[in-house]
Amino acid sequence: MRTTGYAALLCWFISSAVSLYTKKGSFIGSDFLTAFEWDTFDDPTHGRVNYVDQQTALSKNLTIASEGKFIMRADYTDIVISGSRGRDSIRIHSKNAYDDAIFILDLSHMPEGCATWPAFWTLSQLGPWPNGGEIDIIEGVNLQNHNLASMHTTPNCTMSNPSTMQSTDCNAAVNNNQGCGVSFSDSYALGTDSSYGSGFNLLGGGWYAMQKDPEAGINVWFWPRNDISVPVDVRDSTVPFVGPTTWGSPQARFQTGQYCDYETHFDAHEIVFDLTFCGDWAGSVFPSSGCSPMSCADFVDQNPSAFTNAYWEINSLIIYTKDTSS
Ligand SMILES: *[C@@H]1O[C@H](CO)[C@@H](O)[C@H](O)[C@H]1NC(C)=O
Ligand SMILES: *[C@@H]1O[C@H](CO)[C@@H](O)[C@H](O)[C@H]1NC(C)=O
């Protein structure tokens, strides 16, 4: 009896102290130029945007890769000609896809401002969408100051912890593809909302982490730059990785299992960063955003300087997986 108890305790101790995850990818500065592809298709969310290829992005300084930074931005100098696709911007996706994984983004600036709709997200590489799932880690529109993390899946995936959630049915085919989502609370440093937009940028950004795991479910953490409780293995990718057992509660917890079977709703995901304008979300709420009496598309076309702060500035993206092959 006693021996068994100790053995169980020992096993628990070992499994909780030693992470099953190992580093699988590390993207800093110019690493993004080879690990990601620049998408140039028409925005599937109908934004007033012209996604440019990598060569164009580099030559126009809409993508800048230096030793320690990777910047992607919208054009902020030109008036957009009516009848064109829209304002020049960036959408990139990773060439690799990751199964059970933890993604850690160290971000010093995110796109902000009227008409903007930026997102950092993952989706099934196999698809077709929504097969294999979509997980939105950072997303919002216009002058929003709270992050919204959400999931979009095939039917039969609902969340059983409704009190913490803005919406609980992850099925992309219902509620106009609202998905299941968690709006972040604002109990952060400086008494300001720091999870999204200008508040996030004011503090110099911070760290976002997403775990996608059959046992742990889908979890999203956020620590603002000045948060002294940011775990050392999040802050510094060169120290041994211990992982979520020491990170405290995530801001967004999407439970998988009884009401959302992991294996049938999620497979290997690629990573996407994008920045669109107006479209299905930012455009539909633009009239009530407090931005401008103009139409969203006219605002985008005629106000290049409004997009001065519409850029991603990434310090690093580190990925840990349970895959032991390398
Ligand atoms: C891009 O940035 C570089 C370095 O700051 C500058 O020399 C160059 O003129 C810029 N190109 C454009 C098209 O703005
Ligand atoms: C929904 O998922 C549960 C398991 O999570 C499964 O038992 C059930 O058969 C599924 N229903 C449908 C209609 O697929």
What is the per-residue DSSP string for 78-112? -PPPTTSS-EEE-EEEESS-BSSEEEEEEEEE---
- 149 occurs within a structural domain: yes
Strand partners, 149: 182
For residue 94, tell me if it sits in a domain.
Answer: yes
Ligand 1 centroid – CA 217 distance (Å): 44
Q: Does a structural domain hold residue 240?
A: yes
Q: Which amino acid is at 23?
A: K
Residue identifier of the C-alpha nearest atom 1 of ligand 2: 156
In a domain, 151, yes or no: yes
CATH number assigned to the domain comprising residue 219: 2.60.120.200
User: Which residues make Cβ contacts (< 8 Å) with residue 246, sequence separation at least 6?
Assistant: 231, 233
- For residue 26, is it within any domain? no
Distance 218 CA to ligand 2 centre (A): 19
Q: Atom 9 in ligand 2: which residue has the minimum CA distance?
A: 156
- Ligand 1 atom closest to the Cα of residue 60 is 13
Please tell me the distance between residue 312's alpha carbon and the centre of ligand 2 in angstroms.
39
| CA distances to 136, 196, 326 from 146, in Å | 14, 5, 37
Alpha helices of 78-212 — where are they, by DSSP H? 197-202
Asked if the structure places residue 312 within a domain, the reply is: yes
| Whole-number pLDDT of residue 18 | 56
Both tokens assigned to 206 = 């911070």
Q: Which domain holds residue 103?
A: 33-322
pLDDT at 161: 80
The pLDDT profile of the chain, 326 residues, written as one tens digit per residue, is 344 444 444 444 444 445 789 999 999 999 999 999 999 999 999 999 999 999 999 999 999 999 899 999 999 999 999 889 999 999 999 999 999 999 999 999 999 999 999 999 999 999 999 999 999 999 999 999 999 999 999 999 999 887 788 899 999 999 999 999 999 986 555 556 799 999 999 999 999 999 999 999 999 999 999 999 999 999 999 999 999 999 999 999 999 999 999 999 999 999 999 999 999 999 999 999 999 999 999 999 999 999 999 999 999 999 999 966 54
17 in a structural domain: no
Name every protein residue with a CB atom under 6 angstroms from any ligand 1 atom.
60-61
> Quick check: is 243 in a domain?
yes
59 lines ligand 2 (CB under 6 A): no
The pTM of this model reads 0.92
**Domains of the chain: total:** 1
Q: Is 186 exposed, middle or buried (0-12, 13-18, 19+ CB in 10 A)?
A: middle
